[in-house]
Chains A and B, each alone.
Chain A
Amino acid sequence: MQTRETDTNTLPRIARGFRLQWEPVQSAHVLLYPEGMVKLNASAGEIMKRCDGTTRVEAIVLDLEKTFSTTGLERDVRAFLDIATEQRWIEWA
Chain B
Amino acid sequence: MSIVAPHNGHGAQVGPPLWLLAELTYQCPLHCVFCYNPVDFAKHEDELPTADWIRVLREARAIGAVQCGFSGGEPLQRNDLEVLVAEAHALGYYTNLITSGIGLNEQRIGRLKEAGLDHIQLSFQDSTREVNDFLSSTRTFDLKRKAAELIKGHGYSMVMNCVIHRLNIDHIDRIIELAVELEADYLELANTQFYSWAHLNRDQLLPSREQVERAEATTNRWREKLGKKMKLFFVVPDYYERRPKKCMNGWGNVFLTIAPDGVALPCHTARMLPGLDFPSVREHGIREIWYESEGFNRYRGTGWMKEPCASCPEKEKDYGGCRCQAFMLAQDPAAADPVCDKSPRHAELVATVDRLQTPREDAPAIPLVFRGRKESLAAETLF
Contact = CB atoms under 8 A, between A and B. Distances in A.
Interface stretch (B63-71, B173-181, B362-370): B63-71
Nearest to A28: B6
Given A16-B157, A36-B3, A36-B67, A26 B16 contact: yes
Contact of A19 (B1, B3, B118): B118
Contact of B67 (A16, A25, A37, A39): A37
Contacts of B2: 35-36
Contact of A25 (B64, B119, B157): B64
A39 B119 contact: no
A35 B66 contact: no
A35 B119 contact: yes
A35 B121 contact: yes
B67 A17 contact: no
B92 A34 contact: no
A37 B249 CA distance: 13
Contacts of A64: none
B4 interface: yes
Interface string B1-40: 1111110000000001010000000000000000000000
Contact of B16 (A19, A25, A32, A34): A25
Contact of A38 (B4, B16, B119, B121): B4
B94 interface: yes
A24 B67 CA distance: 15
B84 to A, nearest CB: 18
Nearest to B94: A32
A21 interface: yes
B248 to A, nearest CB: 14
Contact of B119 (A23, A34, A37): A34
B16 A36 contact: no
A22 B8 CA distance: 20
A30 interface: yes
Contacts of B69: 35
Given A17-B119, A19-B118, A25-B16, A35 B157 contact: no
Summarize A's interface: helix, strand, loop or mixed.
strand
B118 A17 contact: yes
Nearest to B185: A17
A37 B157 contact: no
Interface residues of B, number: 23
B92 A21 contact: yes
A37 B18 contact: yes
A21 B66 CA distance: 10
A16 B1 CA distance: 18
B1 A37 contact: no
B123 to A, nearest CB: 13
A35 B1 contact: yes
A38 B1 CA distance: 13
Nearest to A21: B92
A38 B64 CA distance: 14
Contacts of A30: 66
B186 interface: yes
A91 to B, nearest CB: 12
Nearest to A86: B228
B341 to A, nearest CB: 30
Contact of B66 (A16, A32, A34): A32
Contacts of A25: 16, 63-64
A78 B50 CA distance: 47
Interface in B183-202: 186
A4 B335 CA distance: 51
A54 to B, nearest CB: 21
Given A35-B96, A37-B18, 18 more contacts: A16-B157, A17-B156, A21-B66, A21-B92, A23-B66, A25-B16, A25-B63, A26-B6, A26-B16, A32-B67, A34-B94, A34-B157, A35-B2, A35-B3, A35-B69, A35-B119, A35-B159, A37-B5
List the 3 closest pairs (A to B, CB-CB), nearest first: A25-B64, A32-B94, A34-B119
Interface of A: 16-17, 19, 21, 23, 25-26, 30, 32-39
28 contacts: A16-B157, A17-B157, A19-B94, A19-B118, A23-B64, A23-B66, A25-B16, A26-B6, A26-B64, A32-B66, A32-B67, A32-B118, A34-B96, A34-B121, A34-B157, A34-B159, A34-B186, A35-B3, A35-B69, A35-B96, A35-B119, A36-B1, A36-B2, A36-B67, A37-B5, A39-B4, A39-B5, A39-B6
